[in-house]
């Protein structure tokens, strides 16, 4: 064998060993603990609390319940199919078609409460495989365990929906790097109303205000100024909605809004109002799930407002809606 062939063979062997070593490293993730031994006692009070969290505060239905058909303003959910799953979208917002799974007993009936708990706060399925982080589990890891238990109690109460959602198939190398995202929970107690700003911060992160209103790069990592908006979302019909600046800047944010005006904006865009509007690609529309958050209490919405008043005001003008065919 010539020296050149030996060198080529040795070089190929080194490359192969490096690839195997890297692959072996990533296969050690996700590094999350086993599902807890948990049994949720689904009292009527806990189920009712879970319904509020699922429908309103966490807006789970905005992803896990199909849209009304035809498309309605702000993607109003079809309440007759709660938890049946939804097609979240594809390119250019995502690297492939993303599907939020069915959460009813049709799919989760043989999951333990501990497995559901771990999926919510750590981002892995019952077999330990990572979930696509369009589900904001990096923020859910800090949820109060009592809030998570309430959501589980409500999910358990849902009637079965015989819907099988397609599996999300991610292009390489995303399935490899996604293994690094799940992590063990770091729970905190939900602040009570005596510290309104602390409660508002808890709500602003658990309700995805930070996630949607902070600009992200193509990998979904937050890179912009917190709450200054700027995230684009493709809408049915070809239009684009962009998340608003919700910092307390008086000209380009919500600094000129009163608490009452902030709450009234949510009330005016509830599910009943949204269901009456069937926008095309040229009518104002938004990805913001107003119909979900409109169900939050005045106290919770007011707490979010109080917290947002404490973040730095950022002068960032955002074009909220770009009609189809325009840039």
Task: List, for residues 286-312, the tens digit of each pLDDT value.
Answer: 999 999 999 999 999 999 999 999 999
Highest mean pLDDT among 126-135, 275-284, 291-300: 291-300
Whole-number Å distance between alpha carbons of 163 and 191: 37
Q: Is residue 233 part of a domain?
A: yes
Q: Is residue 211 part of a domain?
A: yes
Q: Is residue 238 part of a domain?
A: yes
Last residue of a domain, one of 189, 217, 242: 189
Last residue of a domain, one of 140, 158, 189: 189
Domain shared by 128 and 260, yes or no: no
Whole-number Å distance between alpha carbons of 155 and 147: 13
Residue found by looking up tokens 């495989």 in the block: 129
Nearest residue to 117 via CA among 192, 57, 34, 28: 34
Length of the chain: 327
Domain shared by 134 and 74, yes or no: yes
Last residue of a domain, one of 141, 161, 189: 189
Whether 128 shows a pLDDT value over 90: the answer reads: yes
Number of other residues whose CB lies within 10 A of the CB of residue 166 = 11
Number of other residues whose CB lies within 10 A of the CB of residue 47 = 17
Whole-number Å distance between alpha carbons of 280 and 189: 43
Domain shared by 156 and 42, yes or no: yes
Which tokens is 77 given? 């959910």
The residue-averaged pLDDT of 89-116 equals 93
Which tokens is 265 given? 């904006």
Which residues contact residue 3 at a Cβ distance below 8 angstroms, ignoring those fewer than 6 apart? Answer: none
Question: pTM for the whole thing?
Answer: 0.90
User: What is the average pLDDT score of the chain?
Assistant: 91
Domain shared by 146 and 200, yes or no: no
Domain shared by 66 and 136, yes or no: yes
Q: Is residue 10 part of a domain?
A: no
The residue-averaged pLDDT of 58-70 equals 96
Domain shared by 75 and 184, yes or no: yes
Domain shared by 324 and 248, yes or no: yes
Residue found by looking up tokens 């269901």 in the block: 275
Domain that holds residue 229: 191-327
Whether 137 shows a pLDDT value over 70: the answer reads: yes
In the chain, the number of structural domains is: 2
């Amino acid at each position: 064998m010539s020296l050149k062939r030996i060198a080529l063979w040795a070089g190929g062997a080194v490359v192969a060993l490096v690839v195997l070593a890297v692959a072996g490293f990533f296969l050690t993730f996700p590094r999350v603990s086993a599902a807890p031994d948990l049994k949720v006692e689904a009292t009527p009070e806990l189920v009712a609390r879970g319904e509020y969290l699922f429908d309103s505060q966490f807006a789970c239905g905005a992803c896990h319940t199909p849209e009304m058909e035809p498309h309605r303003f702000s993607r109003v959910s079809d309440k007759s199919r709660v938890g049946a799953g939804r097609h979240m979208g594809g390119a250019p917002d995502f690297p492939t078609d993303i599907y939020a799974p069915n959460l009813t007993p049709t799919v989760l009936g043989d999951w333990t409460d501990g497995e559901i708990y771990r999926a919510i706060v750590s981002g892995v399925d019952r077999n330990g495989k990572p979930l696509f982080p369009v589900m904001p589990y990096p923020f859910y890891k800090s949820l109060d365990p009592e809030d998570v238990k309430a959501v589980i109690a409500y999910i358990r109460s849902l009637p079965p929906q015989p819907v099988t959602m397609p599996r999300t198939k991610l292009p390489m190398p995303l399935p490899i790097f996604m293994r690094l995202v799940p992590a063990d929970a770091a729970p905190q107690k939900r602040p009570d109303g005596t510290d309104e700003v602390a409660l508002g911060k808890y709500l602003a992160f658990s309700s995805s205000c930070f996630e949607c209103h902070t600009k992200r790069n193509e990998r979904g990592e937050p890179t912009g100024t917190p709450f200054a908006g700027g995230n684009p979302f493709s809408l049915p019909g070809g239009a684009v909605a962009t998340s608003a600046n919700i910092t307390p800047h008086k000209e380009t944010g919500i600094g000129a809004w009163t608490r009452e005006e902030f709450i009234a904006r949510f009330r005016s865009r509830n599910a009943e109002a949204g269901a009456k509007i069937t926008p095309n690609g040229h009518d104002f529309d938004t990805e913001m799930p107003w119909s979900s958050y409109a169900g939050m209490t005045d106290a919770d919405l007011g707490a979010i407002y109080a917290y947002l008043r404490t973040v730095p005001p950022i002068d960032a003008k955002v074009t909220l809606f770009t009609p189809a065919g325009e840039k």
